[in-house]
Structure 1
Amino acid sequence: MRSTFKVLFYLKRSKGKEQPTVPVMGRITVNGSIAQFSAKLSVPEHLWEVSGGRAKGKSVESDRINRHLDNIRAQINKHYQEICDRDSFVSAEKVKNAYLGFGDKYRMLLEAFEKFTSDYQKRIGIDRCSGTWKRYCKSIDHLRVFMQKEYRVSDMPLAELEQSFIEQFHVYLKSDRGLKPMTVSGYLKCLKYVVKIAFNNGWMPRNPFALYNYTAPNPERSFLTEEELHRMMTTRLRYKRQDYNRDLFLFSCFTGICYADMSALTYDQLEQDTNGDWWISGNRQKTETKYVVKLLPYPLFILDKYRGMAGDRYLFKMSTLDSIDDSLKNIARECGINKQLSFHLARHTYATTICLQNGVSLETLSKMLGHKHITTTQIYAKVTHPMIDREVSMLKEKLQDKFAI
């Protein structure tokens, strides 16, 4: 029995939007199965004849549009005939894939995304951190909803992606989901990275996102001042759990070690030099970059206070990051600190209040924080009033004899 086969074209209108031109979509139907694709063409709506699925009239523009559509139809007919002659089974999806040039390397966007994320999960705790993996998982969730809403498809071939896709996804995250710029930037980077890998693997003929760049505005990085840090250290708290979370936060304030790396700290990472000073070194889970920190008296005090509490191997037994961050909000209120505390703010405090304000160079700080590039360290480098005062005072002393009045 011969297959029932049909190709038609229609306009993809956007509800509530005025469009000077409307994208043309194609629909292949084979025995009731349907596959849709973009005709890579936009036409003025007044030129379109709905019943015929083509441009009306005999203008130059209408003739150009119809020749483009006739060419697509002829190619699809050719592929349909070849599949019928070669295979015992033909479907709309197979015909569309043949028209789009897919062979054995045919891949879908979410399929590739999920494969990457699954492989990433296996590396958590080895050279990858769980926070980044969760961001990729969340990116998949947003992509799935976005494609269903905007394109009415459950997945999309990688070879069909255009730069407009990531631009529309950007608008969706920002407007429909109401996400903050830094969050939007993180999800867009996840999408760009997966598509880049797909292109490098030969799963698509080009990388449509290669020239797309979006950099979220850098928000002001908050940190504790010396006065706030002292208040955090000396305020008496009501609960032991708060006291413990406060000490974990302060350990990070005086070492710059982030939550993920603190959770994995072991006694093997502690070393004592010939002068009797203690050091902590390791590789950051996020970047695999080595960090080295010389322990100041206060973190040594915290280590002694909780020695053995987490067993013989690990230095600390830490709750989830969300749990500690919630606890820090209550601790801030009790300490009279009018700032939105989070565990990562401790890293900013170490960089700014502990190190830079006391003369530590950016190069040295970058090594201690485990940054790959010093430009990353500069984000933490807050130019505070004490720093300006110290530098200008030094400048004043150097110039007073040269430019005396």
Structure 2
Amino acid sequence: MPRQAIKATFASTVPQIRHTSIGVMRASVSCRIRHDRPTEDGCASVFLLVIINRRKTTVPLKITWPVNFFDNKAGVFLSRTKRDQLANDYNLLVNKEIAKINDIFMFYRHSDMELSIEQFHKDLKRYGARKDFIIWAENDIEDRFNAFMIEKQTYKNELSGLRKIKSFKSEISFSQINKEFLETFKAWLIKHEGLKLSSAWRILKTMTTYVRRAYAAGISVNIESIAQFSMPKYPGRKVYLKPEEIEKLKIYFNEDHIPEHHKRVLCHFLFSCISGLRFSDIKRAKWSDIQDDLLIIVPYKTRKTEKTIKIPLGKEHFTYILTEKGHLFETVSDQVTNRTLKEIAAKAGIRKNLTTHVARHTFATQFLRKGGHVEVLQKLMGHEKIATTLEYTHVDDDRLRQEMKYLLG
């Protein structure tokens, strides 16, 4: 077949260079071969040339082809032999890639957003994310973590929630997500996976958070239907220590043969039991934060508000501070600390799942049981909303027994 005939055959399947007006922006994409850099066998790399506002960039296709069998003006692979199926396959591949790029151009035209070369490459790399929620959420979580917008533990928790979503369905298009989808997913989490309502809520919250972020980024989402999905937040049962259990830890703390790593962890755990400090603040608290008898810090979790909390310190607080300068405590990671706390619980004869947060729960619970005021506790705990503090006004099992005993005489 003559070369011109071959060219005509494939030209109909390959889009010509298209210019897309995006406000004052001009954008085009075309297929080219590096005819100025042929190899010894006469082949060269094929790539896509993208021009946005007169700025050029390239998209490599990882394809090499004989320069003499490529129409650089039309961007068409020409058959090397009479039945050269590979040429046709490559033309179809280029057609598909150009369609993706034109789709990106069209999105920015309709969203009235500016498209830079850098943003173009980012969007092309994650092209599937505009249609698939899983891909979009994975990328957005990574972006937020790399931009220091979320902490490492939040990053891990959200990826964990996303893995559970993928277990339910490995591919989820944005068009599928609506109230009915979320209801079905909620039922699966509770009945199939056996999760408690509070655990199911956390995963659903992760999903709806990133669906809303996708909507804010211009992705088409049925936001009205999703807004109709509601699931009340059920706070998990707060684990706290009774006075006699705290005493067991103090006895173990003062033993002569306590392992050094146990003692270090107990220092800040017991300090938190009488101060309410989060572990994230325990790790950062320094001697320079102490002024007279007050520990004054900006809680790390709410640092964006720049609001400080002031914790009065007494003699017992200082018994747990073994350092002399710099940080108040020697700490390790959350995971290692929580493993150590479980070892400590076993040694001290405490049959509860000890974590760093148990100390904070213990402080709040004992503060209120001893007659402390909720509004004072709110200040000490650094809660923005009083409703968060009110969660500690639960009626514990001991109180139930006490009141029932009084009623029955």
TM-score by structure 1 length? 0.61
Give the equivalent residue in structure 2 for 1:197.
213
Q: 2:268 aligns with which of 226, 248, 266?
A: 248
1:51-108 Cα offsets, whole Å, 9 max, x none, are xxxxxxxxxxxxxxxxxxxxxxxxxxxxxxxxxxxx997669979x99xxx8446553
**Contact 1:129–1:285 (CA<8 Å) still a contact in 2?**
no
Q: 1:211 and 2:233 equivalent?
A: no
Amino acid paired to 2:274: F
**Contact 2:177–2:221 (CA<8 Å) still a contact in 1?**
no
Q: 1:146 aligns with which of 162, 168, 182?
A: 168
Q: 2:241 aligns with which of 217, 220, 224?
A: 224
Give the equivalent residue in structure 2 for 1:380.
392
Amino acid paired to 2:179: Q
TM-score by structure 2 length? 0.61
What secondary structure is seen at the aligned counterpart in 2 of 1:293?
strand
**Contact 1:223–1:352 (CA<8 Å) still a contact in 2?**
yes
Q: 1:318 aligns with which of 321, 331, 339?
A: 331
Give the equivalent residue in structure 2 for 1:67.
none
1:202-243 Cα offsets, whole Å, 9 max, x none, are 322531321212235434322112222122112326311112
Amino acid paired to 2:251: T
1:160-218 Cα offsets, whole Å, 9 max, x none, are 42222222332333344333332221111111111112223332253132121223543
Q: 1:188 and 2:204 equivalent?
A: yes
**Contact 2:264–2:331 (CA<8 Å) still a contact in 1?**
no
Question: Could you say which structure has the greater relative contact order, defined with CA pairs below 8 angstroms and 6 or more residues apart?
Answer: 1
Amino acid paired to 2:282: M
Q: 1:301 aligns with which of 316, 319, 329?
A: 319
What secondary structure is seen at the aligned counterpart in 2 of 1:380?
coil
Amino acid paired to 1:298: E
Give the equivalent residue in structure 1 for 2:381.
369
What secondary structure is seen at the aligned counterpart in 1 of 2:226?
coil
Distance 1:180 1:94 in 2: 45
Q: 1:162 and 2:182 equivalent?
A: no
- Give the 3 Å change call, closer, same or farther, for CA 302–116 of structure 1 in structure 2: same
Q: 1:108 and 2:120 equivalent?
A: no
1:337-385 Cα offsets, whole Å, 9 max, x none, are 23222211100111011x2123221111111111111111111234458
Q: 2:354 aligns with which of 335, 338, 341?
A: 341
CA offset at residue 141 of structure 1?
2.1
CA offset at residue 286 of structure 1?
5.5
Q: 1:266 and 2:279 equivalent?
A: no
What secondary structure is seen at the aligned counterpart in 2 of 1:280?
strand
Amino acid paired to 1:202: G
- Give the 3 Å change call, closer, same or farther, for CA 268–121 of structure 1 in structure 2: farther
**Matched length:** 286
**Contact 1:242–1:327 (CA<8 Å) still a contact in 2?**
yes
Point out the more displaced range, 320-329 or 360-369.
Answer: 320-329
Distance 2:338 2:261 in 1: 13
**Contact 2:269–2:359 (CA<8 Å) still a contact in 1?**
yes
Give unmatched runs, 5+ long, in structure 1: 4-86, 392-405
Distance 1:283 1:340 in 2: 25
**Contact 1:257–1:369 (CA<8 Å) still a contact in 2?**
yes
Amino acid paired to 1:167: E
Amino acid paired to 1:270: I
Distance 1:390 1:176 in 2: 39
Amino acid paired to 1:191: M
Point out the more displaced range, 171-180 or 228-237.
Answer: 171-180
**Contact 1:328–1:342 (CA<8 Å) still a contact in 2?**
yes
Q: Quote the RMSD (CA, aligned, Å).
A: 3.4
Q: 1:328 and 2:352 equivalent?
A: no
CA offset at residue 123 of structure 1?
5.0
CA offset at residue 288 of structure 1?
4.2
Distance 1:128 1:286 in 2: 12
CA offset at residue 321 of structure 1?
1.7
Distance 2:226 2:368 in 1: 38
Larger Rg: 1 or 2? 2
1:266-310 Cα offsets, whole Å, 9 max, x none, are 3333222xxxx232321332674533322232222222x2334xx
Identity level (%): 22
**Contact 2:310–2:380 (CA<8 Å) still a contact in 1?**
yes
- Give the 3 Å change call, closer, same or farther, for CA 205–278 of structure 1 in structure 2: closer
Give the equivalent residue in structure 2 for 1:118.
142
- Give the 3 Å change call, closer, same or farther, for CA 245–287 of structure 1 in structure 2: same
Give the equivalent residue in structure 1 for 2:251.
234
- Give the 3 Å change call, closer, same or farther, for CA 388–185 of structure 1 in structure 2: closer
- Give the 3 Å change call, closer, same or farther, for CA 221–318 of structure 1 in structure 2: same
CA offset at residue 387 of structure 1?
8.0
